[in-house]
Amino acid sequence: MEPDLNALAVFALVAEERSFRATATRLGVTRSAVSQTIRRLEENLGIALVLRTTRSVSLTEAGERLYERVAPAVAEMRAALEKTEALTELPRGRLRLAVSSIAERFLAGPLLAGFVRQYPEVELDITVTDEEFDIVAEGYDAGVRLGEVIAQNMIAVPVAGAERQLAVCAPSYRERSGVPSHPADLAGHACIGWRPSPKSAPYRWEFAEAGKEFSVAVPSTITTNDMGLMIKLAVAGAGISFGMEESFRPFIDRGELLPILEDYCPYFAGFYLYYPSRRNTAPKLRALIEHVRRFPAGDEARESGKRMG
């Protein structure tokens, strides 16, 4: 029997994702198309490979054995395609990025709009997320995060200059409740906290005093994973919030928010575009790297990439 390489590649993705829907999303096809491909493969082989329920997908013993044998070959085919793609001069294809929700400058619009105008054959697929995960294992080409949390085996290119976090409140809150003079005083105030995901602990607000860093677990009246909601609540006078100065700056400039505790909010390295160290970087990613380097990043940002660590 002549092997159906396409069906085997789809099967390998199903085995990795354990979901027809997730596999269909990665391939850009319908769920039924994935299901039909697996069914044809099972019919050709004369044995069930996948156990389907309404809630989950798992492999049969035959499926597990087949996956063990085809997975290395599929990985080799993917690598071969990536290397072939790298030989072409023209950047094209889908470029998957995982970007922090607070990377304001990268997500603001001009940087990305300029890139797609210059490279119309590149399709940007951007996931905005604050969850920590291995971008390589999840199939992303690159990510954008704060430099301090990027793995040391990654290559990183600065997207912006130095950043800092600020505590802010509305003038109405200050008039009603006053403001703390030290981060330790936050315990006596209404605070609007943040967590990256429902299963994560609330973020501890980070400060520095006399060159020594420390964090405060604030008593949050409201906790959310959405910075936009945090800003709206702070502007409405619901309490003190904490986040990137760049996120608050338009509201501070309009007088809707007031910065507080600034003496305890030092600057630090900002956001970086990061990607795995590879000998042959695909043209689509190489084009984005060069675009980021050319885009004005402020006086504090370096113009060239660096290896973390």
- Predicted confidence at residue 191, as pLDDT, reads 96
pLDDT-based confidence at 305, cuts 50/70/90? Answer: very low
Length of the chain: 309
C-alpha torsion sign, points 89, 90, 94, 100:
positive
**Residue 140: which of 183, 97, 193 has the closest Cα?**
97
| pLDDT confidence of residue 101 | 85
Location of structure tokens 């990613």: 285
Residue with tokens 């967590």: 195
- The full set of domain ranges for the chain reads 5-74, 93-161+270-300, 163-268
The whole-number average pLDDT for the span 171-196 is: 94
Q: What phi and psi, each to the nearest 5 degrees, are found at residue 59?
A: -100, 145
Per-residue pLDDT tens digits for 193-236: 998 888 888 889 999 999 899 999 998 889 998 889 999 999 99
- pLDDT tier at 139 (50, 70, 90 boundaries)? confident
pLDDT over 90 (residue 52):
no
**Statement: residue 56 has pLDDT above 70:** yes
Q: Do the domains spanning 93-161+270-300 and 163-268 agree at the CATH topology level?
A: yes
Q: Above 70 in pLDDT, residue 309?
A: no
d(CA 85, CA 78) in angstroms, rounded, equals 11
What whole-number distance in Å separates Cα of residue 309 and Cα of residue 294?
Answer: 24
Specify the fold of 163-268: D-Maltodextrin-Binding Protein; domain 2 (3.40.190)
Task: Decide: helix, strand or coil at residue 11.
Answer: helix
Cα of 102 vs its chain's centroid, Å:
10
Q: What is the CATH number of domain 93-161+270-300?
A: 3.40.190.10
Return d(Cα 309, Cα 302) in angstroms, integer. 16
Tell me the whole-structure pTM to 2 decimals.
0.58
The hierarchical CATH code for the domain 5-74 is: 1.10.10.10
